[in-house]
Amino acid sequence: MSTEEIYDCIIIGAGPGGLQGAIHLARCNRTVLLIDQGGGRTKLSNDIVNYLGIPAISGMELTLIGFLQARSFGVTVKSKTTATRVNKEANIFKVEASGKSYWGRFVIGASDAKDILPQLKNLRRFLGKGFYTCAACDGYRTINTDLLVMGDNLGTVRLALAMKKMYTDRLVLLLDDFVPPDNLLDVLLENIITVVRGNPLELLGQKQLTGILLADGRTISCQSIMANYGYRLNDDYLKEMPLKRDQADFQILTDPTGETSIPGLFVTGGLRTGPDLIAIAAGQGATAASEINNRLLEL
């Protein structure tokens, strides 16, 4: 391995965190390799309206613009490439991806997470168009609508209470195979939130969502749905790294710059603890890249 084969930074994931980090480093004349599997939650966003300076844009368009910016500064992009393993050898990171190996002085893991979605007929028809999974991203779309909050965990109950406080009084809570403790049932009753138990089967409506069909034949009318079934981290390539994680051994702990317990390895977005929004992930990418550039100046 010669020094010419070593990138200043390898970035895994081409969402807002990865693209922003790549742009920042490449603008500093650093050699950057961006590994892009091709998916990502940002691309599924139909209408992003809370990104500074951009009144409205789709996630797909935002990502494509980001790629153009990154390439204009000389970022090397490996598309349709999946990172499978990262390890550190003599202060240099080795990243294995789609059968090849790459080396970098620093690594940014920006591969985010994947929502766990219920098995519902017509889900694709309404995903992002009436059926939502992120209250921070799309809660405002439910203002003054007939809202159904659905899920299978304690967080779903808390979500229902929050949605009522912020967005709409017309709210029903559908719990799929989960029974909340009595004290929370009392809180729901106090907040006049109707609780329904059942297994969802099909979303109803043609161009607009009108309701949901349960497995036992019951229907619940609604204009919007906020679902909460959790998510999985896209972090399989980091499983062999002895990273410090949160109390649930789930998300990765970092310092304010995004650096993990392994020096030189940074993470952004859903991989790390804290709020997970497109604007925040982009800021985390820029912060990590700025710290990496400063470190490179010290080498």
- d(Cα 206, Cα 101) in Å, to the nearest integer? 48
Rg for the chain, CA atoms, rounded: 21
pLDDT higher than threshold 80 for residue 165: yes
Query: Domains in the chain, please, with CATH?
Result: 3-114+231-298 (3.50.50.60), 117-228 (3.50.50.60)
Q: Average pLDDT for residues 83-96, to the nearest whole number?
A: 95
Helix (H, G, I), strand (E, B) or coil at 143: coil
Could you give the CA distance from residue 34 to residue 268 in angstroms, rounded to a whole number?
14
Please give the Cα distance from 18 to 299 (Å, whole number): 23
Task: For 98, list phi and psi in degrees, rounded to 5.
Answer: 50, 45
| b/e code 103-119 from CB counts within 10 Å (16+ = b) | bbbbbbbbbbbebeebe
Confidence grade of residue 1 (pLDDT, cut at 50, 70, 90): low
pTM for this entry: 0.92
The tens digit of pLDDT for each residue in 166-175 reads 999 999 999 9
Average pLDDT of the segment spanning 114-118: 94
Q: What confidence tens digit (pLDDT) does each residue in 200-235 have?
A: 999 999 999 999 999 999 999 999 999 999 999 999
Write out the DSSP string of 78-116. Answer: EET--EEEEEEETTEEEEEETTEEEEEEEEEE---EEE-
